[in-house]
């Protein structure tokens, strides 16, 4: 393993650790991690069938079905007819679901800002400046054909 590989591994481990700790520090609104990921996927990709959501999370289809049922019961998602197949339905995020997801994200952002306060200003600015690059990397891996 070379230095570049070691640095990439350290970054991945650090990002996982940071995200876990931010999730614990921020308000979840009573939402489970799988539910948050489903809401996020619906925000990014738009209305989707449960099977597609299960593939994206990733989780089993029964797990996605149960999570969608709970989200639907809370008014955070709704089902709509699939325009390409009249026998199927898609799941769509509601305004209430968008608000819930944004509330969680804002809480995690506040927790991050508090932690950035423990760094010097130049270091904190470097971390924040990495956001567009990390987003590009995330988009590239989500859509390898667009790389």
Same domain, 58 and 129: no
pLDDT for 142:
56
Domain count, the chain: 2
Tell me how far apart the terminal alpha carbons of the chain are, to the nearest angstrom: 25
Query: Is residue 104 a part of any domain in this protein?
Result: yes
> For position 106, which CATH number holds?
1.10.10.10
Residues 52 and 106 placed together within one structural domain of the fold: yes
Whether residue 97 is contained in a domain is answered as: yes
Do 140 and 78 lie in one domain? The reply is no
Evaluate whether residue 65 is within a structural domain: yes
Are 47 and 81 in the same domain? yes
For residue 38, the tally of other CB atoms under 10 A from its CB is: 31
**26 or 106: which carries more pLDDT confidence?**
106
Task: Specify whether the backbone of 85 is left (phi greater than 0), alpha (psi in -120 to 50) or beta.
Answer: beta
Does residue 11 lie in a domain region? no
- Note whether 100 and 144 are same-domain residues: no
Residues 57-88: tens digit of each pLDDT: 999 999 999 999 999 999 999 999 999 998 99
Judge whether 5 lies within some domain.
no
Domain membership of residue 65 as a residue range: 23-116
pLDDT of residue 1: 57
The mean pLDDT of the chain is: 92
Residue 50 lies in a domain: yes
Longest dimension (CA), the chain: 57
Vertex 147, ends 54 and 20: CA angle to 5°? 45
């Amino acid at each position: 393993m070379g230095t570049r590989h070691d640095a990439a591994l350290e970054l991945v481990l650090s990002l996982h650790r940071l995200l876990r700790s931010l999730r614990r520090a921020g308000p979840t609104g009573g939402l489970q991690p799988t539910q948050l990921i489903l809401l996020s996927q619906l925000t990014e990709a738009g209305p989707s069938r449960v099977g597609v959501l299960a593939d994206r999370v990733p989780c089993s289809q029964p797990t996605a079905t149960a999570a969608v049922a709970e989200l639907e019961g809370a008014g955070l998602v709704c089902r709509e007819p699939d325009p390409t197949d009249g026998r199927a339905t898609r799941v769509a995020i509601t305004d209430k679901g968008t608000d819930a997801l944004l509330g969680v994200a804002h809480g995690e952002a506040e927790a991050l800002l508090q932690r950035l306060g423990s760094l010097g200003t130049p270091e904190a600015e470097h971390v924040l400046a990495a956001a567009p690059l990390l987003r590009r990397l995330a988009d590239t891996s989500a859509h390898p054909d667009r790389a």
